Chain A
């Protein structure tokens, strides 16, 4: 139990716990202290110095994010000295940050501009020193404009935390720069955590601003949208709705208003993924081969395995990701049903993720020479498209999905949170191995925000060890554990690259803090618990499409629903032409 103490903030008596930082106490008491380099996912670095406050005793300024309170401490958060320090340090920060406000991921929520206003900052007091700094692009997923970087180093830390270490510090002429690594054993996996941890928008998805309207300009095409499980509880944030608010029907309405001809739910794709994945699990358990089965619906995790741990490639399930399966079914089953030439269909996936941009360009995804999905828009990009078209999202009336793919099961919806794939697969695998339906479908052990969740599940006479991981750094830990201790046998391992799973993805609205992720996840579980249909294999549309279509042609089933993986060499980065942007 921590000791209770009393301190003074701006003359007001406040109770605090010994060991808390000044910032934590102030936040609990609704006293505003600005922050830039602080992020609750990361270590306290105290680099930016914007959170400076004054200690009355000696009139010293200290960083409130890193200074711990003591009994009787007297703190002033808004003295002239504090304001002056914040103003000048902000002016120095602006002088290293190229202002590109119009197409910035923080455009509507820019902390720097808010602070500039509050502290009378002259944003061009000093010459911008980074105007000629390079802009890097990591494949078709991420852009890093180092001219906007304020050297807080959050990206380097989060990249390290992800076990990737692609972003690193390099000293050039006595100045440290953040750069993508040239080392052959380091490569980006496109998880996008650098984007959601950068306070000033130096990172963004490729095409975040330039390409969002492209799919809707495809003339003479039928443009079909599908949206991921996790975005139904996050998109609302972009329009000021409470964290975790469920907006499924509004998303459907917005997509129709934008001009998409059909709107489907990727969660239905997830029900197919569960179905296929579960078949693979059953098969591998029976043959006792290629265990543990590793999930493969997260493209950043797949690339992580292919690049850093190729020895585990055979363990990845070959089942395609939900959006890819649904995309394939749209261009085959649905096209056939509607008598449309598949080449005339454009599928657009709204995803919480920038790695999905990479996934859809993989040639291993093709079937019959066709891409299952043509465009990826992130949650943020969809929000911007809605704003650009002046659609009042908050006021939209909920609409139903187009009926061709029915409704998803609850299992398909929880795919958006860490543990969801495992829980969903477990509900179905249990049935397939025992012939009995699970009575209690909630699988609490694999839910929640811990990085590594381990459980043992009894299916029939056998006990299976499983693990659910979120965050690639945790995945790395588990893989190393498995390598060091091969006797520890897991049957199944679910990995999501991002903290909390897709609800914390690199394409999601910002800020993206633990408590926000938790609300997004809770709402997904809430949707599931309220559904009658909670198991993928019971979904009538899944049954129907298998019996009418997929089960009739094994080769077709494999080409639409399965893919393959292989060891990857470094893909690295390119430097964009400055004049081109």
Chain B
């Protein structure tokens, strides 16, 4: 057990929440930061459109997730854990998880709020019963998280992977959520280093019609054209396939912006005002590129938290590749 962190580092495991932060480094920080007690949070707040893999894992292998949390509890001294579940997951998997975690210091917590409430500092605010807004970083939760104590926040899939690493069954695979205009949507466990094209081909999802995909998340993911599929997926392994002929781009972008308007916390200027102005531009069908680019610039460069910073990419890639060209 002592060398689980070494093993995690050997496999170069990256967090499966989308931010791809080295898991070993996070564990080490929490372990070595001095404090009388520490917390572990399993993030099961999966809130992005098209992303279904955490639910899939909780349904098919909940014991592996609990095992991953158990390993963390054992590795990190004086720690206790929370499983932070979005409400439908709480209802669906709560009973099973409670049974599996019997005898372990694990508490289930039902998430309030939306997508942003899955960001690691917002989770800390939520569990502490405060307003659902991100905290200033640093300090990172690994140094000072829940009630100021070092807190390890990992995603469901990350704990699943750690259980596999511990048992020696980890094969550098991850879960891909595939949906959209395709006959075989679903969650697939496949090698991490596969290209998007390989994933689509092997799962029988490579369309024979003119298409594009959104990869890395159903809201924050980048738009990729068929010729761009020879690369690995970034962020969340979410792939949504769009039939180019059938897709109304304005409607698609409006769907994204209503997601962002609903899910952001309105705290910082670029994200609050930027999202409102994007909605306005879409309503007016205004494609003035100077304004769009200016909004992308402040969103990417000056937003308070990752939500605002990642809001620009879907719009900028779609406009560049499918509209302005």
Q: Which residues of A contact B (CB under 8 A)?
A: 44-50, 52, 60-61, 63, 66, 68, 81, 84-85, 88-89, 92-93, 95-96, 126-127, 129, 150-151, 153, 169, 174-176
| Alpha-carbon separation in the docked complex, A330 to B262 (Å) | 60
- A88 with B266, Cβ < 8 A, contacts A61-B301, A81-B301, A174-B261 known: no
Whether B302 and A85, one on each chain, are in contact in the complex, defined by CB atoms closer than 8 angstroms, is: yes
| Alpha-carbon separation in the docked complex, A175 to B260 (Å) | 11
Residues of the B chain whose Cβ atoms lie less than 8 Å from the Cβ of A48: 268-269
The answer, among B262, B274, B294, B301, for a CB contact under 8 Å with A174, is B262
- A88 with B298, Cβ < 8 A, contacts A47-B269, A95-B273 known: yes
The answer, among A49, A127, A129, A150, for a CB contact under 8 Å with B270, is A49
Jot down 12 A-B pairs with beta carbons below 8 A, ordered by A: A47-B304, A49-B268, A49-B304, A61-B301, A81-B301, A85-B298, A92-B298, A151-B269, A174-B261, A174-B262, A175-B261, A176-B266
| Alpha-carbon separation in the docked complex, A61 to B277 (Å) | 22
B7 at the interface (CB under 8 A from A): no
Interface core residue of B261, B265, B273, B294 (most chain A CB under 10 Å): B273
Residues of the B chain whose Cβ atoms lie less than 8 Å from the Cβ of A93: 269, 273
B272 at the interface (CB under 8 A from A): yes
B324 at the interface (CB under 8 A from A): no
B288 vs chain A, min Cβ distance (A): 11
Chain B residue with Cβ nearest A52: B302
Whether B301 and A85, one on each chain, are in contact in the complex, defined by CB atoms closer than 8 angstroms, is: yes
B276 at the interface (CB under 8 A from A): yes
B323 at the interface (CB under 8 A from A): no
Whether A46 and B268, one on each chain, are in contact in the complex, defined by CB atoms closer than 8 angstroms, is: yes
- A151 with B304, Cβ < 8 A, contacts A92-B277, A174-B261 known: no
- A88 with B262, Cβ < 8 A, contacts A49-B302, A61-B302 known: no
| Alpha-carbon separation in the docked complex, A538 to B301 (Å) | 65
- A92 with B273, Cβ < 8 A, contacts A52-B302, A61-B301 known: yes
B283-305 toward A: CB 8 Å interface, digit per residue (1/0)?
00000000000110110011110
| Alpha-carbon separation in the docked complex, A335 to B298 (Å) | 65
A167 vs chain B, min Cβ distance (A): 14
| Alpha-carbon separation in the docked complex, A85 to B96 (Å) | 49
Whether A151 and B297, one on each chain, are in contact in the complex, defined by CB atoms closer than 8 angstroms, is: no
Whether B266 and A89, one on each chain, are in contact in the complex, defined by CB atoms closer than 8 angstroms, is: no
| Alpha-carbon separation in the docked complex, A47 to B305 (Å) | 11
Residues of the A chain whose Cβ atoms lie less than 8 Å from the Cβ of B261: 174-175
Whether B136 and A46, one on each chain, are in contact in the complex, defined by CB atoms closer than 8 angstroms, is: yes
8 A-B pairs closest in CB distance: A92-B273, A176-B266, A49-B302, A61-B301, A66-B136, A174-B262, A88-B298, A88-B294
Residues of the B chain whose Cβ atoms lie less than 8 Å from the Cβ of A50: 269
Residues of the B chain whose Cβ atoms lie less than 8 Å from the Cβ of A85: 297-298, 301-302
The answer, among A66, A68, A92, for a CB contact under 8 Å with B274, is A92
Residues of the A chain whose Cβ atoms lie less than 8 Å from the Cβ of B270: 49, 89, 92
Whether B301 and A126, one on each chain, are in contact in the complex, defined by CB atoms closer than 8 angstroms, is: no
The answer, among B136, B267, B276, B302, for a CB contact under 8 Å with A89, is B302
B168 at the interface (CB under 8 A from A): no
